[in-house]
């Protein structure tokens, strides 16, 4: 049975000079409203031990617009400013539910520049998208067809200077054909994923491949005078290298996760806490480059879309040291031991054995 889901489609676009200036002002105002609202919430809670609601901050925003210092907030669309307050309300809800950290102030240099427009703040006509306060539609590169009319539009600009528009719309997804195949996945650094079938997916290590190019660009940046055009050009060059790494990694993970979902009815993986693992400074860079968390996220939503089962196995389960043949538990297994022989006579590849045990444990809890 087909499933209707909310799905975001991301496209690159090229704004005119006027559109770029308008969006730049909007990004700045969104950031300002977020920071003032966060400062107000923090102050009220510290002095009065009282939580601040979205309605109260929305009324405060109206008051800010009437002051001489912040009258420029009236020059941009009000919708992205209100959406900024809604996002902060959601952030605090997650914080009080202990699902996230305390919200942080946004920095002009480090925070992502973005603005969200709801249906009242853009026009969709004839396959063209025009945002509020703009006279002409955005020059979007339609790399794929949009399945339905947009409900929300998010415009962003990355550190490399590229402009993107993410369009949220409804999409109908057909479930994948049923199959009897199941697979266990053991993630690692040498092999990004080892499957219970014995297949080993090589870790592409995109960050390591471009490490020399990245280091060269960063050295060039460090030599440039601060607050200069040359420094900005060098910064953009560093950002482009990072963007290339991220794009290639994301593309690879999409292809891998899609293949696993299409070929298997159930996929079992370990429930790893990657954030804690990054505390190991010797491996943090390699773990970040592998992006295990991103792979898991892709498997989660694609399994939901296509009617597959994603089985999570407890992170403390000793999948490496259990014999997948007889179930005996091996006492010690140092990391440098890649193959070992069980007393039942079976010789195991360390990672393949772990993947098989992960699959068995996942199916047992299904």
Structure tokens at 81: 């400013």
Cβ count near 325 (within 10 Å): 14
Q: Tell me if residue 210 is catalytic.
A: no
Concerning whether 365 is annotated as a catalytic residue, the answer is no
Closest CA to 140 of 132, 128, 156: 128
Rg (CA), the chain: 25
DSSP states of 156-225: EE-TTS-EEEEEEEEEEEPPPPP---EEEEEE-SSEEEEETTS-EEE---HHHHTHHHHHHHHHHHHTSP
Of 186, 199, 304, 314, which is the active-site residue? 186
Active-site hit among 116, 207, 270, 289: 270
Q: Do 177 and 345 form a contact (C-beta atoms < 8 A)? A: no
What is the SS3 assignment for 135? coil
Helix or strand (DSSP H, E) at 118 = strand 113-118
User: Is 186 a known active-site residue?
Assistant: yes
Q: Active-site residue numbers? A: 186, 270, 351
């Amino acid at each position: 049975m087909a499933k209707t889901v909310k799905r975001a489609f991301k496209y690159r676009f090229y704004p005119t000079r006027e559109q770029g200036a308008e969006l730049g002002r909007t990004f700045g105002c969104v950031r300002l409203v977020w920071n003032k609202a966060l400062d107000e919430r923090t102050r009220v809670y510290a002095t009065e031990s009282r939580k601040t609601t979205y309605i109260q901050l929305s009324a405060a925003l109206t008051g800010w617009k009437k002051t001489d210092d912040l009258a420029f907030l009236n020059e941009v669309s009000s919708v992205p400013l209100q959406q900024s307050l809604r996002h902060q309300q959601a952030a605090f809800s997650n914080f009080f539910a202990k699902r996230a950290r305390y919200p942080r102030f946004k920095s002009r240099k480090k925070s992502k520049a973005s603005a969200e427009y709801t249906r009242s703040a853009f026009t969709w006509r004839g396959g063209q998208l025009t945002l509020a306060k703009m006279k002409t539609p955005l020059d979007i590169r339609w790399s794929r067809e949009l399945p339905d009319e947009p409900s929300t539009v998010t415009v962003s600009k990355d550190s490399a200077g590229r402009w993107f528009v993410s369009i949220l719309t409804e999409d109908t997804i057909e479930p994948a054909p049923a199959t009897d195949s199941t697979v266990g996945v053991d993630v690692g650094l040498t092999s990004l994923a080892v499957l219970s079938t014995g297949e080993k997916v090589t870790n592409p290590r995109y960050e390591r491949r471009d490490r020399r190019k990245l280091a060269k660009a960063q050295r060039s940046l460090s030599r440039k005078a601060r607050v200069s055009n040359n420094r900005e050009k060098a910064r953009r060059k560093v950002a482009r290298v990072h963007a290339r790494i991220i794009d290639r990694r994301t593309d690879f993970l999409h292809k891998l996760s899609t293949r696993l979902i299409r070929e298997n009815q159930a996929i079992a993986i370990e429930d790893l806490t990657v954030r804690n693992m990054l505390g190991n400074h010797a491996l943090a860079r390699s773990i970040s480059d592998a992006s295990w968390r991103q792979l898991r996220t892709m498997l989660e939503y694609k399994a939901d879309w296509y009617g597959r089962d994603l089985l999570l196995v407890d992170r403390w389960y000793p999948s490496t040291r259990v014999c997948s043949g007889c179930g005996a538990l091996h006492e010690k297994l140092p990391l440098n031991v890649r193959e070992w022989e069980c007393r039942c006579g079976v010789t195991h590849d360390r990672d393949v054995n772990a993947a098989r045990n992960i699959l068995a444990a996942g199916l047992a809890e299904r």
